[in-house]
Amino acid sequence: MAELVYPPVVLTCKAMLRALDVKLDIQGTEHIPRHGGAVIACTHQSYLDFIFCGLGAQPAKRLVRFMAKREVFASRISGPLMRGMRHISVDRDAGKQSYDEAVRRLRVGEVVGVFPEATISRSFTVKELKSGAVRMAVDAGVPIVPMAVWGTQRFWTKGRPKNLTQRHVPVSILVGEPMTPDSDASVDEATTQLRSRMQQLLDTAQAGYPEPPENDAAPWWLPAHLGGSAPTPEEAAELDRRRPE
């Protein structure tokens, strides 16, 4: 099937990032398979992470089909784009249908993107993961490619006003080595291993990120363990319980 919608959307996103002079640093793209199915499991700090996760697959010439909640598909604005790019609608009341569709896509050689933390991490660390990414990789017989994006939270994240016009923001996209879960191994063990790899990538991205200005010694967009004013994982979990979004 011809790709009539996805390529123009990618070009538009790239043009917008150039206009804002976003400083993209993409590393490890050699780990994304050039052919065949794969699950990309990406960290989640921003409402815009799907854009940057998708850009991380561009050097491998792969288009990522993201799993997204059905409300996004119901929108008059985003819905036609999501369907045109052949992303996968997730109905939380009928999860098996979207899961089966993702596995089918993987088996025919597509790349499916998931955010296994399920929701944005307010602490800017990797939350506990849902097991779906591992289970679909096992069922489809494809590898999982861990990925971390960093800096995207400065544009738009939970509990902060969005700022989509700020310029010169560095954004890091790090891709890790693929892992192929063993069908005989524990899904929980493989999910724990995936989380560890994602956290390692995020740690690397954070360590290599440009230093904040001297007059911004405790920026809100840095995690607490790096001296930022973001909530700790425990505080973030409590915020999620009190103010789910």
pLDDT, tens only, 105-149: 999 999 999 999 999 999 999 999 999 999 999 999 999 999 999
- Tokens found for residue 21: 């002079």
Is the domain 29-213 a CATH 3.40.1130.10 member?
Answer: yes
Q: What is the mean pLDDT of the segment spanning 146-163?
A: 96
DSSP element (H, E) containing 51: helix 49-56
Q: Which residues, listed in sequence order, are joined to residue 242 by a DSSP beta bridge? A: none
For the segment 172-218, what is each residue's pLDDT rounded down to a tens digit? 999 999 999 877 779 999 999 999 999 999 999 999 998 776 666 67
Give percent of the chain above pLDDT 90. Answer: 87
Domain ranges of the chain: 29-213
> What is the model's pTM?
0.95
Q: 143-169 burial, b for 16+ CB within 10 Å, e for fewer? A: bbbbbbbbbbbbbbbbeeeeeeeeeeb
User: Residue 151: which region, alpha, beta or left (left: phi > 0; alpha: psi -120 to 50)?
Assistant: left
Residue type, 209: Y
How buried is 56 (Cβ within 10 angstroms: 0-12 exposed, 13-18 middle, 19+ buried)?
Answer: buried
Give the model's confidence band at 12: pLDDT under 50 very low, under 70 low, under 90 confident, else very high: very high
Helix (H/G/I), strand (E/B), else coil: 201: helix
> Residue 1: pLDDT above 80?
no
